[in-house]
Amino acid sequence: AQTVTQSQPEMSVQEAETVTLSCTYDTSESDYYLFWYKQPPSRQMILVIRQEAYKQQNATENRFSVNFQKAAKSFSLKISDSQLGDAAMYFCAYRSGRYGGSQGNLIFGKGTKLSVKP
Amino acid sequence: ETGVTQTPRHLVMGMTNKKSLKCEQHLGHNAMYWYKQSAKKPLELMFVYSLEERVENNSVPSRFSPECPNSSHLFLHLHTLQPEDSALYLCASSQERGDTQYFGPGTRLTVL
């Protein structure tokens, strides 16, 4: 079974600085998808970024980028020019590339709480 | 209104009450999901509906009863809950099962 591990329960960053959140996963599959979701205090789970495992290029969305290391099964999220609004819980998630049965389900890590200091 | 909405946002109920959570998606998606989020635990998938048919039930107690009358609406009927059922209940939808999921704001449930 696949697992997702976020080893940093809490992180802190100074406003305007850069922070990297770690995520590792375990799978025997070669085709899969990885996600970072953000959950601010409002509790709305928001999709931040998505990475297809077959793509070597790291995904980027404005100030958010990932460092996808397939061999190492690592999927870290880098937030550049951190803003106060970035303060939230960040969840890493895995989904199989297969669509049958429960294989299409998301598997989440426990999350990392990010604080942004003004 | 766009995206995925959930009502109520907060709910306090006694163990003998019956209540329902509602989820509505305005994205034209065909799959909908219920998740439970408890403190310091990963999100737990409860139910999956695809084209209004329940396709997955992850060993959820029968005191939780889902209903999907159409592809835009999903309900979670609650009865005789336990205090340990207190949690944030999140609804999500995706174009098809397995596609990228979009979440609602959640219902914070407290069982007294």
DSSP single-letter state for residue A25: E
Residues of chain A with pLDDT under 50: none
A117 at the B interface (CB within 8 A)? no
**Sequence letter at residue A51:** Q
| Mean per-residue pLDDT of chain B | 90
Q: Does domain A3-99+106-113 sit in CATH 3.40.50.970? A: no
Pair A95, A106: CB distance under 8 Å: yes
Instruction: For residue B2, name the pLDDT band (cuts at 50, 70, 90).
Output: low
| The pLDDT value given to residue B55 | 74
| The pLDDT value given to residue A99 | 62
The dihedral built from the CA positions of residue B24, A32, A59 and A109, taken in this order, carries a sign that is positive
A1 at the B interface (CB within 8 A)? no
Closest Cβ opposite residue B103 in set A33, A44, A107: A44
The rounded distance, in Å, linking the Cα atoms of A67 and A60 is 10
Pair A16, A82: CB distance under 8 Å: yes
| The pLDDT value given to residue B29 | 94
Taking CB atoms and an 8 Å cutoff, what residues of chain A touch B48?
A: 105
**Burial classification of residue A72, based on how many CB atoms lie within 10 Å of its CB (0-12 exposed, 13-18 middle, 19 or more buried):** exposed
The rounded distance, in Å, linking the Cα atoms of B6 and B8 is 6
Using an 8 Å CB-CB cutoff, list residues of chain B that contact chain A: 40-43, 45, 48, 56, 88, 90, 92, 96-98, 100-106, 108
| The pLDDT value given to residue A88 | 96
The rounded distance, in Å, linking the Cα atoms of B102 and B34 is 12
| The pLDDT value given to residue B75 | 97
DSSP single-letter state for residue A28: S
A95 at the B interface (CB within 8 A)? yes
How many CA atoms lie within 13 Å of B66's alpha carbon, on the beta-carbon side? 27
The rounded distance, in Å, linking the Cα atoms of B106 and A39 is 11
Cα nearest neighbour of A111 on chain B: B42
**What residue spans define the domains of chain A?**
3-99+106-113
- For residue B103, give both structure tokens: 């979440």
**Sequence letter at residue B99:** D
Count of helices and strands (H, E) across chain A: 0, 12
| The pLDDT value given to residue A103 | 60
Kindly state the average pLDDT of the residues B45-52: 87
- Of A102, A61, A99, A91, the closest CA to residue B95 belongs to A99
**Sequence letter at residue A57:** Q
How many CA atoms lie within 13 Å of B42's alpha carbon, on the beta-carbon side? 15
Kindly state the average pLDDT of the residues B89-101: 90
Instruction: Tell me the pLDDT tens digit for each residue of B3-22.
Output: 999 999 999 998 888 999 99
